[in-house]
Amino acid sequence: MIAKARPAIDAHAKKFIEMSPFCVLATSGADGSVDASPRGGGIGFVHVAGPNQLLMPDRSGNNRIDSFRNVVEGSGFVHLLFFVPGIDETLRVGGRGTLSADPDLLASMVEFGKPPRAVLNVAVSEVYFHCGKALMRSKLWSPEKVQRSVMPSIVEVIHDQTGLGEPESQEIVEERYKQQL
């Protein structure tokens, strides 16, 4: 339904974003490539700065800059898909992104004891909720989970795929993650 697409963040969308600890950022490159990148933080880590403005801090991750390269060199169009644990509906927000390294802005977004490396400023032009059918079918929020031990650690996977680095257990990887949040 086209009518559900709104030109700005209303009270319902604002509340959803403020409850969300996780979203997926999608961008498109100058060559037509597409990048979708998981982003997370404390509840409400993406700040609603106004009905047509979102501010998303950039935290350390896999040290690839595909999303931000696409913002700077590509179309500048971004879409964010917000998730709230326990709620099957999702929220999609689209617009144009720009990057900021303004020291005052970075200082205002300290989380986990660290300022972000940069902030993605999204000039919002489209907002709409998705029905919950996909998450319901997937049972994403079900208490039944896959045991982490059925899959090797990310470092073991990368080592097997590329021969780079030394394999490390999941416990070592998780401890490093905690130190690097």
Residue 108 contacts by C-beta under 8 Å, 6 or more apart in sequence?
none
d(CA 84, CA 13): 12
Portions of the chain given CATH number 2.30.110.10: 5-138
**Architecture of the domain defined by 5-138:** Roll (2.30)
Per-residue pLDDT for the chain (181 aa), expressed as one digit of tens each? 567 899 999 999 999 999 999 999 999 988 888 999 999 999 999 999 999 999 999 987 766 778 888 888 888 899 999 999 999 999 999 999 999 999 999 999 999 888 999 999 999 999 999 999 999 999 999 988 888 899 999 999 998 999 998 888 899 989 988 888 7
Give me the half-sphere count of Cα atoms (radius 13 Å) on the Cβ side of residue 77. 10
